[in-house]
Amino acid sequence: MLAFSCTAAGLCQAEVITVYTSANFAPLVIDEQRGLYSDLINYLNRQKLGNFTFQLEYVPRKRLQVKLEEGSIHGIIIGMMPQWFDDVAQTKYLWTQPFAVDNFILVSNIKKPVHPESPATLPGTTVGLTLGYVYPGTDQWIVQHGLLRNDALSEEKNISKLLLSRVDCIIVSETVINYYVKANRLQGKFQYAHVPGQPTERRFLVPHAYRHVHEKLAPVIKKLDGDPVWQKIVDKY
């Protein structure tokens, strides 16, 4: 999508880059207008990367994947990792380095804890996961030990299901559960346990048609860890 504006030097062209996200949960997205992803988009716009203006837009996970696979997506995607799109070799799409790394953990009610270290107790246990998500390494562990997958539209909805005892446990990113517990004053309500699986690397996925965007974006993302301005933003979450 192109927008045009005039300057003293004459007519110049600015390119608005839609940044799609399927995340609808805190702290990544808060009230549709705030959160880590919005802060990152604002940060990128302040960097003035060429003539790009980045604009965040929500699309449900399944629809986003369909649009991507059929080649009808017009923009880039935030917060993805190659394993979710069968692109470990990073050849189907262009990828930035991770701007955040998170771990999935198993969370259960402190009054009815689930113990992954006791495999014999796991068959038939219901586990809340996010619809459409792939959990590399963890998916195999779930099948191996006979847990029953129970999907919801988001990690926040899974936390609510756990609070209502509609599932025995959930697998959720550590950042999300920590933020949720703090925001809702639920300290002491849950038990946490580690499960096998790969950490979640939150990257930008860039279709090859947007290579010109990747060339400007990738170097900035690569330097994020060393930028105290960005680290101060991350510390809020």
Q: Residue 133: pLDDT above 90?
A: no
Q: How far apart are the first and last CA of the chain?
A: 32
CATH code where residue 96 lies: 3.40.190.10
In this structure, of 3-17, 25-39, 44-58, 216-230, the range with the lowest mean pLDDT score is 3-17
Q: How many distinct structural domains can be found in the chain? A: 2
Would you place residue 12 in the very low, low, confident or very high pLDDT band (cuts 50, 70, 90)?
low
Residue 10 predicted with pLDDT over 60: no
Structural domain range at position 166? 104-194
**How far from 61 is each of 56, 68, 85, 190, 193, CA to CA, in Å?**
15, 11, 12, 28, 27
- Which pLDDT score, from 0 to 100, does residue 237 have? 81
* 126-130 and 190-194 beta bridge pairing: unpaired
| CA atoms of 220 and 203, how far apart (whole Å) | 12
Shared-domain flag, residues 172 and 131: yes
Indicate whether 125 and 184 sit together in one domain.
yes
CB atoms < 10 A from the CB of 203, how many? 24
